[in-house]
Structure 1
Amino acid sequence: MNFAYELPWYRKFINESDLVFCDGFGVLWGAKLCGYCIKSDNRMTCPDYIENLALACEQENISLFLLAGKPGTVDKAIAKLKAIAPNLKVKGHHGYFEKIGDENEAIINEINKFRPDILYVGFGMPLQERWILDNLTRINAKVFLPLGACLDYYTDAVYRGPRWMTDRGFEWLTRLVIEPQRLWQRYLIGNPLFFYRVFRALIASSWKNYSKMSKFWRT
């Protein structure tokens, strides 16, 4: 949400997506503060549903290409998914490649050769969304699904934290402890900044409504 506030192209990407789902607890709480009817069970995190996604793809004969993670992570993820969905049409490639130039072209050719129904892209935000926009018209896929570090969690390459924390909005704390150098700014600055913007929007909305009512009373 901070990216959407600061980057017009990113905000446009979200607003023009066919489906937007609630991933983080911050968005859930922010939506509730703004008066939207959203429940905790409306929150969807990919590590929790990726196996259900694989089973649904297998049942409906939908192919899946995984483009994410460090070398080896995709292979582990495919092995786990095939264990529960042996007939799943799935292929993958790691996400550590140059996003422009010859290497990028080779990856696009590999994807197009497979012709996936769903392309999972997990480079982290906002790089994955920028890459999708830059290559959208050149890739033969029906659905683009940016899902960040899901495969890292699914393959246990990165620890999410205990369930009691992830289900109560404290997954960020575990991630901060594990990767402080990379994530300190996102959480220690980004979390308060997000809620500051939410409260500022609420105050602005309340003042606007008050001004309208005052004008009505004077009339």
Structure 2
Amino acid sequence: MQKFDEISLLGTRFHKIKVNELIEYAVQAAKLKKKTIIGHVNTRAMNFAYELPWYKDFLNKSDLVFCDGFGVLLGAKLCGGCVDSSHRMTCPDYIEDFARACDRENVSLFLLAGEPGTVDQAIAKLKVIAPNLRVKGHHGYFDKSGEENEFVIQQINQFKPDILYIGFGMPLQERWILNNSEKIETKVFLPLGACLDFYSGTVSRGPRWMTSSGLEWLTRLATQPKRLWKRYVLGNPLFFYRVLQQQLMKLFRKRSRTSSQY
């Protein structure tokens, strides 16, 4: 498997990877006789990693971590990282290319996400552009422990997908992977949050010029203010405060070392 350069930010790492490379990596990993975990970061993920040791450990031990947020790219640039907009990708923009690649390479896909009905809508759309895609799914609104959880895992294992897409939102989806990965028969775990909600049209993304310029969060905040205001109004400034604090500490230590030499 191809290796990619790493960027470390607030003690959490992600890879410099572009969307075509991500798709190729996932499809090839699905053909290996091992389990592969692919993670992703945005400012919310970085805040979780800063506060939750297990979450940071999940990301730092994942086989590949891609960037899904302009805020993280900006934070990396402030810390001297050589990244640009091509190193950021969001699932609704590439899910059809991903489905075509799975279709072409005979890689099966299981979608585990969304409210009842959302997965069915997404599968119907994907089958239009990838008619031979082997795909099944189940909604994400189930008890993540106990009998209901075991039933869902049984459904997955009966299908034995090459790639399992999990969309419960952070950090629930990552915790679920950690708790259940050993008993799930799949090759690739791919947590992608609310991708299917956007793809199926259940949740509005806003105009293309906003999604392409790092302003998609404004649309989400406007459409779901009660649910998302803490994530964006508090979370985004908190992330950049932590990045700047880290840089100031590095500068202070550097000056202290320089002063001690005289």
Query: 1:133 corresponds to which residue?
Result: 178
**Letter aligned with residue 63 of structure 1:** S
Instruction: Report Cα offsets for 1:131-180 as digits up to 9, x if no partner.
Output: 11000101001100000000000011100111111111111111011111
Is 1:193 the counterpart of 2:238 in the alignment? yes
From 82, 104, 110, the equivalent of 2:127 is: 82
How many angstroms apart in 1 are the aligned matches of 2:125 and 2:257?
A: 58
Is 1:99 the counterpart of 2:148 in the alignment? no
Identity within the alignment, %: 69
**Aligned to 1:121, what secondary structure does the other structure show?**
strand
Query: 1:149 corresponds to which residue?
Result: 194
How many angstroms apart in 2 are the aligned matches of 1:209 and 1:140?
A: 49
Q: TM-score, normalised on structure 1?
A: 0.98
Instruction: Report Cα offsets for 1:55-96 as digits up to 9, x if no partner.
Output: 110111101000000000000100111100000010000000
List runs of 5+ in structure 2 lacking aligned partners: 1-45
Query: 1:109 corresponds to which residue?
Result: 154
Q: TM-score, normalised on structure 2?
A: 0.82
Query: 2:168 corresponds to which residue?
Result: 123
Matched positions, count: 217
Is 1:65 the counterpart of 2:110 in the alignment? yes
Query: 1:206 corresponds to which residue?
Result: 251
After TM superposition, give the deviation of residue 208 of structure 1 in Å. Answer: 1.3
Matches within 5 A, 1:159-174: 159-174=204-219
**Aligned to 1:124, what secondary structure does the other structure show?**
coil
Instruction: Report Cα offsets for 1:157-214 as digits up to 9, x if no partner.
Output: 1001111111111111110111111101101110110000000001011111112222
Instruction: Report Cα offsets for 1:82-140 as digits up to 9, x if no partner.
Output: 10000001000000001011110000000011001100000000000001100010100
How many angstroms apart in 1 are the aligned matches of 2:55 and 2:246?
A: 20
**Letter aligned with residue 90 of structure 1:** V
After TM superposition, give the deviation of residue 44 of structure 1 in Å. Answer: 1.0
**Letter aligned with residue 75 of structure 2:** G
**Letter aligned with residue 53 of structure 2:** P
How many angstroms apart in 2 are the aligned matches of 1:144 and 1:78?
A: 18
List runs of 5+ in structure 1 lacking aligned partners: none
**Aligned to 1:145, what secondary structure does the other structure show?**
strand
**Aligned to 2:124, what secondary structure does the other structure show?**
helix
